[in-house]
Structure 1
Amino acid sequence: MKIVRIGFIPLVDAATLLIAVDKGFTAEEGLDVQLVREASWSNIRDKLAIGLFDAAHLLAPMAVASNLGLGHVKAPLVSPISLAMNGNAITLSRKLFLELQEASDDRLSDPAVSAKALGKIVQKRAEHGDEPLTFGMTFPFSMHNYELRYWLAEGGIDPDEDVRLVVLPPPYMVESLTRGQIDGFCVGAPWSSLAVDADVGIILHFGCEIFSRAPEKVLAMREAAAADDPDVAAALARAISRAATYVDDPTNRDDVVSVLARPDCIGVGHHAIRGTLAGQINLDSRGGARACEDYLIFGKNNACRPDPRHAVWIYAQMLRWGQARFSTGLVEIAKAVYRPDLYDAAIGVREVSSPSLPDVVGAFAGPDLDERDLDSYLNGFDIGSKI
């Protein structure tokens, strides 16, 4: 058995990795996987980069940033399989949510409506000389950051000028909201549900209402390690693909929930995990709820197969928010993270189909992305950097 150390963050979108190990799928592939639970994404990134981890449950934008040399020493990464799409939520303090209701006469469930209402609140605070609103997100190179920014900007709010965005590890979001240190946050499940259960937060939007198929997490490996030992990458892809099928099957839900709830995995109550997997989410402690079958996507519609278009879309967000510079060469470096060739070789894929969307992520507003013309895409927004 080959020992493989893999870091993960306690989130429901790590389910296929956790189940692949628990159900023995990785062992059947000849791997002795040692899972290491971490508290922050920077810890996982750094340990993967220097070889303390052989693979990692990683933010998709963080993997792209690593290839581009953004934020730390450049460490080329590849992903032989995607772990999850979607799974985030934007949650507000009860106080801010009530203010939002007062600022709008329309349905706040529409992100275009809620963004405009928030814009009114932000403008009013600025006119009165009040402190700007503060929102938490898990990392600058994350879908949480981009979902928040995209939504805010549609309401005429400049995320870098009009509000504060702060980085917090997922397990610290609820505590920070409780203490009034932040006014809201965007984070992966189950932490928004825990804020609801604690009666300190109200879920305003699911991440999939901002982007219908957001590239959330990937299994990341160092490019050199995957090239030196391709059998490990293939074995992990097969095991996790089997796990995705297992997790997607409703008849296995009780078992999956029990595994994820263990202290060595996510370590939270069964209720929040079950609701996340079923797409049945309580919005507040007063009985409000909403169902969405795409709240968190693991394997359906070929979601496990790495899609290089996602890397281009992520790179475009980095350009929009001034995190990266533009060059056609960097587009190709970003795309190199997503390796459908490794996935296809491991799984034996013959035909590939993907959902038909006007945009690769299905954004709720804004221009469609054409990777051949990023300039036109970025010029389609009123707020954000241009090439």
Structure 2
Amino acid sequence: MSEFFNQISRRKFIVTAGVSAGAVLLKGCLENPPEPGGIAQAKQAEAVKLTPEITPETTTVKLGYIPIVEAAPLIIAQELGFFKRWGMTNVQLAKQASWGSMRDNTEIGSAGGGVDGGQYQMPMPHLMTEGLITKGNTKIPMYVLAQLNTQGNGIAIANKHAGKEIGLDLAKGGKIVFDQLKSTKNPFTAAFTFGKVNQEFWLRYWLAAGGINPDTDVKLIPVSAAQTVANMRTGTMDAFSTGDPWPYRIVKDKIGFLAVLTSEMWKNHPEEYFAMKAEWVDTHPKATKAILKAIMEAQQWLDNFENREAAAAILGRRNYFNLTPTFLKDSLQGNYDMGNGRVINDKSMAVLYWKDERGSVSYPYKSHDLWFLTESIRWGFLPPEYLNKAKDLIDRVNKENIWREAAKEAGIMEADIPTNTSRGLETFFDGVTFDPENPTAYLKSLKIKKVNI
């Protein structure tokens, strides 16, 4: 394990709040994380001294989430009182049945019984802004405000394929399974939680890197995260891609194994994001920053690995994931029994929320937005001309400047605030690289793709 992650596991994260009267030391749950057995009695975080410059315009907001580990910063911010600390005393977290529900409830907004924002796969906010995945192609301007996490995903395979060398590198032997099935009435069927976003991209990248064309050699279908275990058990699908705890649940229930963690495919990859409707943010800029400060605080608390057993107990509650903490504790620590004889015990491979070996996790790098849009072009989800439109679209949607402002107001250390909107060159497990300065070269380097370029 790297020294960086040894330090993370030992460190008690302390955040300071920068206000006009001076920095206020944040106390409560950060200094005294709740014990696993006494979470219900955990003290609420103490309120900061709100000045006119930072007092939110409203104390009320409704945020949607899907019950996977990507939602943890929102849930922890609520349960440990971080939202209230920053003046957002009436935050409602609304569990969504599916990503389609999240999209639709964002469209109608909280005034219509929906939500003002929350957790999103990428590039959902961009596609909604362009009206490409909304009902009637209605344009719903969105702002990306933070990345919620990195990693914490896997691709699970049904037990009927055990022993067939289906792993990270399919070209080493697993490809034969797909080749044998593609011409039958029952081709290899793999599921993702929502089309044209993260979970489908992870599947597509993994398949294509192994010489399997995801558009012609397999059958890809959308399935809600909560249905993945049931569908695997009944044999209606061969694989699925989604966030913890669902892939690991497959192993625990002995109905499948994990072929690959997404952290093996792309170490420290961008995962899900916090975004809100642009209209809400423009109307409530101080409240937006208050929400971000609470999320940042929760992300730091979560990245203290000493708090992760407590986090598992909170997330597992009936009103959130409705799971025994057993299904969460191991993966939150980077301990994965892959179900095929392989074991991973590495904190750097676990879901991370605040920092990783590349730097900030929470900051929304524009270069990552560009990868998601470029991958969308690769598979024909967006036309090639979007390469020329990508910068404008990213600048309209990605409000990393608001993240920076919130971080500075919260007293985040300068070293933890990125100075560049690009994280630079990204390298994938198959040796392919993505240079945000030249996305066309990335597309040209890919052997399997739908776009002609």
**TM-score (norm. length: structure 1):** 0.91
Partner of 2:374: 316
| Structure 1 residue 382, shift from structure 2 partner | 1.1
| Structure 1 residue 115, shift from structure 2 partner | 4.3
- Maintained 8 Å contact 1:116/1:154: no
- 1:248-303 superposed Cα distances (whole Å, 9 cap, x missing partner): 1123223212111101111111112111211111211x764212323211001311
**Once structures 1 and 2 are overlaid, which stretch shifts more, 16-25 or 49-58?**
49-58
- Maintained 8 Å contact 1:132/1:162: yes
Partner of 2:131: 69
Please list every run of at least 4 consecutive aligned residues from structure 1 whose deviation after the TM superposition is greater than 6 angstroms: 354-358
- SS at the partner of 1:6? strand
Distance 1:47 1:126 in 2: 37
Partner of 1:342: 402
- Maintained 8 Å contact 1:366/1:381: no
User: Which of 250, 258, 262 is the aligned partner of 1:207?
Assistant: 262
Partner of 2:100: 42
| Structure 1 residue 130, shift from structure 2 partner | 5.0
User: Which of 243, 246, 249 is the aligned partner of 2:301?
Assistant: 246
User: Which of 346, 357, 361 is the aligned partner of 1:303?
Assistant: 361
- SS at the partner of 2:375? helix
Q: Give 2:320's aligned amino acid.
A: C
Q: 1:116 to 1:152 in 2, by over 3 A?
A: farther
- SS at the partner of 1:100? coil
Q: Give 1:312's aligned amino acid.
A: L
- Maintained 8 Å contact 2:425/2:436: no
Distance 2:182 2:96 in 1: 38
Q: 1:66 to 1:115 in 2, by over 3 A?
A: farther
Distance 1:124 1:251 in 2: 47
- Maintained 8 Å contact 1:115/1:152: no
- Maintained 8 Å contact 1:308/1:336: no
Distance 2:225 2:419 in 1: 30
Give the structure with higher Rg (CA). 2
**Once structures 1 and 2 are overlaid, which stretch shifts more, 86-95 or 292-301?**
292-301
Partner of 2:180: 124
- SS at the partner of 1:193? helix
Question: Does residue 1:170 correspond to 2:230, yes or no?
Answer: no
- Maintained 8 Å contact 2:193/2:225: yes
Partner of 1:104: none
User: Which of 359, 373, 379 is the aligned partner of 2:425?
Assistant: 359
Q: 1:287 to 1:121 in 2, by over 3 A?
A: closer
Partner of 1:24: 81
Question: Does residue 1:291 correspond to 2:351, yes or no?
Answer: no
- Maintained 8 Å contact 1:58/1:219: yes
- SS at the partner of 2:61? strand
Distance 2:205 2:337 in 1: 24
| Structure 1 residue 170, shift from structure 2 partner | 0.5
Q: Give 1:131's aligned amino acid.
A: N
- SS at the partner of 2:282? helix
* Percent identical residues: 26
Question: Does residue 1:198 correspond to 2:253, yes or no?
Answer: yes
Q: 1:153 to 1:116 in 2, by over 3 A?
A: farther
Q: Give 1:217's aligned amino acid.
A: E
Partner of 1:87: 152
Partner of 1:370: 435
Distance 2:156 2:241 in 1: 6
Query: What is the aligned length?
Result: 375
Question: Does residue 1:386 correspond to 2:452, yes or no?
Answer: yes
Q: Give 1:117's aligned amino acid.
A: G
Unmatched segments (≥5 aa) in structure 2: 1-57
- 1:157-180 superposed Cα distances (whole Å, 9 cap, x missing partner): 110111001000111101101111
- 1:14-46 superposed Cα distances (whole Å, 9 cap, x missing partner): 111100011111011111111111110111112
Q: Give 2:262's aligned amino acid.
A: G
Q: For residues 150-169 of structure 1, what are the structure 2 equivalents within 5 Å?
A: 150-169=205-224
**Structure of greater relative contact order (alpha carbons < 8 Å, 6+ residues apart):** 1
**Once structures 1 and 2 are overlaid, which stretch shifts more, 32-41 or 374-383?**
374-383
| Structure 1 residue 8, shift from structure 2 partner | 0.6
- 1:31-63 superposed Cα distances (whole Å, 9 cap, x missing partner): 111111111011111211221212211112212
- SS at the partner of 1:89? strand
Q: Give 2:154's aligned amino acid.
A: A
Q: 1:23 to 1:317 in 2, by over 3 A?
A: same
- 1:122-153 superposed Cα distances (whole Å, 9 cap, x missing partner): 222346x4521000111113221111111101
- Maintained 8 Å contact 1:302/1:354: no
Unmatched segments (≥5 aa) in structure 1: 102-107
**TM-score (norm. length: structure 2):** 0.78
Q: Give 2:188's aligned amino acid.
A: L
User: Which of 232, 236, 249 is the aligned partner of 2:287?
Assistant: 232
Distance 1:62 1:210 in 2: 22
| Structure 1 residue 358, shift from structure 2 partner | 6.9
Partner of 2:120: 58
**Once structures 1 and 2 are overlaid, which stretch shifts more, 92-101 or 139-148?**
92-101
- Maintained 8 Å contact 1:148/1:186: yes
Q: Give 2:228's aligned amino acid.
A: M
- 1:210-230 superposed Cα distances (whole Å, 9 cap, x missing partner): 121222111110112111211
| Structure 1 residue 99, shift from structure 2 partner | 2.6
- 1:89-134 superposed Cα distances (whole Å, 9 cap, x missing partner): 0110111132336xxxxxx4xx22x34423222222346x452100
Q: Give 2:72's aligned amino acid.
A: A
Question: Does residue 1:274 correspond to 2:274, yes or no?
Answer: no
